[in-house]
Amino acid sequence: MKHKMKRNLKKFRSTLVGCIFAFGAHAALAAVTADQAALLKTTLTPMGAERAGSADGLIPAWTGGLTTPPAGWTPDQPMPDLFASDKPIVTINASNMDQYKDRLTPGVMQMMKQYGYSITVYPTHRTAAAPQWVYDNIYRNALNAQPDPAGARMGFSGAYGGVPFPIPDADPSQAGAEIMWNHEARWQGVSVVENIGVIVVSNGTMTLSAGSHYTHDEPYYEAKDPSGAGLIERDLYEFTSPPSINGEKIIQWLSSDPLKTPTQAWQLLTGQGRVRKAPELFYDTPATQTDDIDNYDEFYVFNGALDKYDWKLIGKKEMYIPYNNNKLFLATTTQAHGPHFLNPNLVRWELHRVWVVEATLHPGERNVIAKRVFYVDEDTWDATLADEYDSHGQLWKTEQLFTLDRPDLPGTVFSNDVVYDLLKNEYVTSGGPWGDAPYNTPPDYTNLPSPNKFNAESLAAQAQF
């Protein structure tokens, strides 16, 4: 009996050690091995994309991105179209889209059929770049970033100053959320101050729904270690038009681990003379400044906590996506906005590799958008396109994100996004710059705002009755 008890105890200890080892192995799944991380310096770019070009040569190899501003350019000037001499490769519309359907999203094809939409494809330029210190942080993150124990959809830790998961997990159900956190924490500069406009086009009529002075910073990129990286970004919107919302202000904080550091918002409403916490300014709450076309979690194609959805990596594809769109932002708002879509003659499309990520509602959670499919550029981690479906499986909205080349940062950064409501036949664009005042003031990426600008106390001090 005594020997049997010893054998059972030994078996129990062995099982316990095995369980601990298995748990440790699972907990370390997000952090890659040193050999894997070393790929960021060889076959992968420092941000995790494939360095090599495509087999047919249409996607070139990445050779360092765009890091030199044009001769004579100064920061007080708009950044010019850096590829103005490129000739179009093909224009795709409803008459020939079937030839290219493998490289088009359902949303883009629906717009071609529904509105006579077209896209013009140009040679691909892999302009994405970042400072060396960002590359160093990304390498460190590859070795140390960890998803929340409840799953990556709930957040992450152990990372700062660069995308947290440059080499996504081998498990598609984990990788999908990791890729979307990369989108949320992508390199956009440490801060930006600019004037932005929200333009609504409904029934063919264009209106300025909201204009604001926008201040944005990224504590995640200012952090010196993971302990200071709980907040990815802070946003301050100071609305100036139309007169009905002049003086209204909104502050938003986006957290990398919402369970530990909640994502928060505060709002100063015109005439109320007080600041209120506004937890509803997230998820699928319609944004009134977009005439309720755009929900808060549709900003920048996707914005905010990931916990409402299960995220699955479908794979990587070569797709036509908007890219290097400096030309678009030199146009005025009137030149850019057509009755059903942005002026195709101003929008540049290129062939790039994208991660395809599908989001479906997590059991017990709700959102008016039941399913979303994102197309995330491998070089920048921008979710450049998205299709959104209602609870009946009907394609409801399609989104596009437009990037601005800023070799002075260096970076290919988000500048504007558009949400097309295919059921209501209306759309909204949010961002800047544009070629007409007050949005033609170049974005300022050089002056780091004081953290006090993003505090509810500072907002309260500005309140007026």
In 32-154, beta strands by DSSP E = 90-92, 119-121, 146-147
What would the pLDDT profile of 176-190 be if each residue is shown by its tens digit?
999 999 999 999 999
Instruction: Please say whether the structural domain 90-461 has been given the CATH code 2.50.20.10.
Output: yes
**Cα–Cα distance, 313 to 385 (Å, whole number):** 15
SS3 label, residue 449? coil
Residue 223 CA neighbour count, 13 Å, CB half: 23
Helix, strand, coil distribution of the chain in percent, nearest 5: 25, 30, 45
What would the pLDDT profile of 166-219 be if each residue is shown by its tens digit?
999 999 999 999 999 999 999 999 999 999 999 999 999 999 999 999 999 999
What would the pLDDT profile of 247-291 be if each residue is shown by its tens digit?
999 999 999 988 788 889 999 987 777 899 998 899 999 999 999
Which residues sit opposite 355 in a β-bridge?
Answer: 316, 376
Summarize the confidence of residues 331-360 as an average pLDDT.
98
CA 295, distance to chain mean position in Å, is: 15
Enter the pTM of the model: 0.92
In 203-305, beta strands by DSSP E = 205-217, 231-241, 249-255, 264-268, 275-277
**Cα–Cα distance, 435 to 413 (Å, whole number):** 18
- Angstrom distances, CA of residue 53 to CA of 131, 315, 405: 22, 18, 20
CA 7, distance to chain mean position in Å, is: 56
What letter represents residue 398's amino acid? T
Residue 431 CA neighbour count, 13 Å, CB half: 22
Show Cβ contacts of residue 60 under 8 Å, excluding neighbours closer than 6 positions.
Answer: 53, 124, 125, 126
Summarize the confidence of residues 224-229 as an average pLDDT.
90
Angle CA(261)–CA(266)–CA(269) in degrees, nearest 5?
Answer: 175
Question: Can you give the pLDDT at residue 457?
Answer: 87
**Cα–Cα distance, 119 to 108 (Å, whole number):** 9
For residue 10, is pLDDT > 50?
A: no
For the chain, give every domain's residue range.
Answer: 2-30, 90-461
- Give 463's pLDDT tier (boundaries 50, 70, 90): low
